[in-house]
Amino acid sequence: MPCNNSFLFLKEPTWKNNRPDLRHPIPTAAKSWIYETSSLTQRLRDSYPGQIQVKILFHQWKPAYPSECALLKLDHHRYQLIREVLLHAGDTPLILARTILPEKTIKIAKRNLSHLGTRPLGEVIFAYPNLERRQLQISHIAKKYWSPHLSEQTKLPDNIWGRRTVYVIQNQPLLVSEFFLPAALSLTNNSHHGDFSVKT
């Protein structure tokens, strides 16, 4: 069974801070997604016009993982809104995502972040003119971390590259973790790397 605060994971994966020496072993295809500075949803739509959909896997108020709370400077025992989704084009799974939305961030954002439904989060947060990136971490997650329930629904490779980013809206943080499946990595590189010099 997956743990009670995630559909994606059996246990919390390990993350590493973004540093220049970490960039070398990352495959080029994964690197183009990890260091993408624009909306991942828009990048997918550029390749799959009119086809990108969001499947909600988990949407509950639960305590976040310890490392997530540490990044967001949250009490480990307080409930946060946890949202996990699959972005796909028809039968093609592309990106898995997990978002931690603290209550204060939801209140200050005033964009119905708690009621996104099947609308991609990126459509909402990238509309904020003063959206800030505060931290980027990277993970290469082995199959043993993923929930068997997820594996039943989506064929997973042995290892999946992922990133998680602390975003800030009006001084209130949220954490977005994104995991890149083979079909996304195979897309033509139309990324926008820009300046991803976030604080680590």
CA-based nearest residue to 93, from 4, 168, 8: 8
Type of residue at 88:
H
| Cβ neighbours for 56, distance < 8 A, ≥ 6 positions apart | 83, 84, 85, 117, 118
- Token pair of 5 as six digits: 């605060």
Stated pTM of the model:
0.90
Could you report the per-residue pLDDT of 133-189, keeping only the tens digit for each?
999 999 999 988 999 989 888 889 989 999 999 999 989 999 999 999 999 999 866
Please compute the mean of the pLDDT values over residues 101-123 and round it to a whole number: 85
pLDDT of 125 reads 85
CA distance linking residue 26 with residue 160, whole number of Å: 11
b vs e for 44-74, b when ≥16 Cβ sit within 10 Å of the residue's Cβ? bbebbeeebebeebbbeeebbbeebbebbeb
pLDDT of 112 reads 74
- Token pair of 46 as six digits: 């550029």
Given pLDDT bands bounded at 50, 70 and 90, which one contains residue 24? low
Q: 16-185 maps to which CATH number?
A: 3.40.1410.10
CA distance linking residue 6 with residue 147, whole number of Å: 9
Type of residue at 180:
F
- Structural domain boundaries of the chain? 16-185
CA-based nearest residue to 175, from 58, 68, 54: 68
- Token pair of 185 as six digits: 């990595």
Largest CA distance in the chain: 42
